[in-house]
Amino acid sequence: MGAFADPFYGNVPDRKMTVSELIRALRLNIAAEEEATALYEAHADATDNPIAKKVLLDVANEERVHVGEFIELINILTRCEEEAWIANGAVEVREMAEEVARGDLNPANPFEKAEKESPECINELTVGSLKP
């Protein structure tokens, strides 16, 4: 969030943003709101002053509201595509939570299936290799 030192910070470009540029800007806004939330919570954790703690946590919660507003705006601009991606991520997390609840604490090995199907190819790959 050190952009205030940029002399061009906040300047409006000489043209309007495209929808994809606006969505990208909104994603940056979400990141800034999340960063602010973490900062305010850290400050609240670092003080014993009850008034300061209350105000800082209240402001942190307001930032969460802003995140929700930006996410909903992105969802509208993407015609609900964003909502589908988020829902898919939620399903994946629930599946992982169910695995953990069953006692399966081992992280998935993406090469496990490939090793069983064609072990000779796995040994040929190196870190950063783009060749199969």
Tens-digit pLDDT profile for residues 83-109: 889 899 999 999 999 998 988 877 666
Rg of the chain (C-alpha set): 22
Answer yes or no: is 58 within a domain: yes
Mention every residue, 6+ apart, whose C-beta is less than 8 A from residue 59. Answer: 40
| pLDDT at position 127 over 90 | no
Total domains present in the chain: 1
pLDDT band with cut points at 50, 70 and 90 for residue 69: very high
Residue 20, domain extent: 15-122
Answer yes or no: is 5 within a domain: no
Answer yes or no: is 81 within a domain: yes
Answer yes or no: is 131 within a domain: no
Answer yes or no: is 37 within a domain: yes
| pLDDT at position 122 over 70 | no
> Interior CA angle at 94 toward 58 and 98, to 5°?
125
Answer yes or no: is 130 within a domain: no
| pLDDT at position 116 over 90 | no
Tens-digit pLDDT profile for residues 12-58: 778 888 999 999 999 999 999 999 999 999 999 999 999 999 999 99
Answer yes or no: is 6 within a domain: no
Answer yes or no: is 99 within a domain: yes
Mean pLDDT for all residues in the chain: 84
